[in-house]
Amino acid sequence: MISPEARRVAPLSDVRGLLRIWGIILSSLFLFGFLSLNAREESGYPAELTHFREYAQNPVFTGAGPGHWDVQIRERGWIIRDQAGWKLWYTGFDGTKQGTKYLGLATSPDGLAWKRASDQPIYDMGWVEDVCIVAHEGQLFMFAEGVADQAQLLVSSDGLKWERRGQLEISKMNGEPIEPGPFGTPTAWFEDGKWYLLYERRDQAVWLAQSTDALSWKHVQDEPVLKPGPGEYDRELIAVNQVIRYKDRYWMIYHGTSGNQKPNVWSTNLAMSRDKIHWEKYPGNPLLPIEKNRSSGILVDDGKQIRLYTMHGRVDVYLPDVEEE
């Protein structure tokens, strides 16, 4: 039985006290939700560059299969979106370990449905893979690996016909050439009258060089600007795929592996810099689940948002997962 005392109306002061308590609780819940949403901006990393969801219709592009020159595709391709639509330059080969890597082109109206521009390579004069393309002064500059992972430069005025300008020449700060051996995954951009290049050697570290002609390069410093680790996801090997300017900073997409599995399982990651030399790895790396084994990533602005494409072995797209913001 409820006592008469329990039926009494609480004094006004008690009601005000309860309202204050509920106000504190609601404010705390609101603050917690606000902090949870903004946790996506860890250490100044914007959510649109760090949080992605997989496109349901992946993959959006693959090798053509048996009977074609591009039975399989591999390494980094490159996507450019302009007024004419979307273009994807990719590396195709016959699927064998020693198969020559040729350059192909696919086009798309939306970056999701792709059609090959030709049933043949658009460039078959030599080995071309792991491409990076920069539009500059009415031409397209392609930085790519050639035979034995030697970085090279090709130039085109229309994206179809390419002229090889030669192998990149990279020297140390004192003018001496870098040691003989592979130097690949060339990632270049043009800024303030100079070319900049990030490249790796056997995926063990990344160096920064600069140039005025895109062929002859000199180290900005002889120490690497990016090394593996300390995270497990990139503890063993790394390579840079792309650098963009966004919100007054440089943003790097790179891939790495722990080396714990054979063949290696690669992750896609993000790093930030203010000066191109000192890079801070995103504390929430990797951007995609490691078990996906997705690498050779680049960011592409579709006119409304920024998409993340990964390309090694197949082309997948990931859309920004920022609906709650």
Q: Assess contact for 24 and 14: CB atoms under 8 A.
A: no
- State CA 113 to chain mean position distance: 20
Q: Give me the pLDDT at residue 262, please.
A: 85
The residues that bridge with 210 in the sheet, in sequence order, are: 196, 218
- pLDDT > 70? residue 8: no
Neighbours of 218 (CB within 10 A): 16
Q: Give me the pLDDT at residue 42, please.
A: 58
Which among 247, 243, 255, 257 has a CA at the least distance from the CA of 299? 243
Angstrom distance (rounded) from CA 119 to CA 69: 8
- State CA 202 to chain mean position distance: 19
- pLDDT > 80? residue 35: no
Q: Strands of 316-320's sheet, edge to edge?
A: 52-54, 316-320, 306-310, 298-301
**pLDDT tens profile 293-305:** 999 999 999 999 9
Whole-model pTM over 0.75: yes
Angle at 170 between CA 169 and CA 176, to 5 degrees: 110
- pLDDT > 50? residue 26: no
Tokens of 44: 């100044």
Q: Assess contact for 86 and 63: CB atoms under 8 A.
A: no
- Residue that wins the pLDDT comparison between 134 and 38: 134
- Percent of the chain past pLDDT 70, that is, above it, reads 86
- Percent of the chain past pLDDT 90, that is, above it, reads 83
- Is domain 54-320 given the CATH code 2.115.10.20 in the classification? yes
Q: Assess contact for 226 and 254: CB atoms under 8 A.
A: yes
Tokens of 226: 């990016």
**pLDDT tens profile 251-292:** 999 999 998 888 899 999 999 999 999 999 999 999 999 999
Which among 256, 253, 249, 299 has a CA at the least distance from the CA of 278? 249
User: In the chain, what are the domain boundaries?
Assistant: 10-41, 54-320
The mean pLDDT of 216-236, rounded to a whole number, is: 98
- State CA 98 to chain mean position distance: 27
Q: Give me the pLDDT at residue 33, please.
A: 43
Helix ranges (H only) for the chain are 4-7, 12-38
Q: Give me the pLDDT at residue 12, please.
A: 42
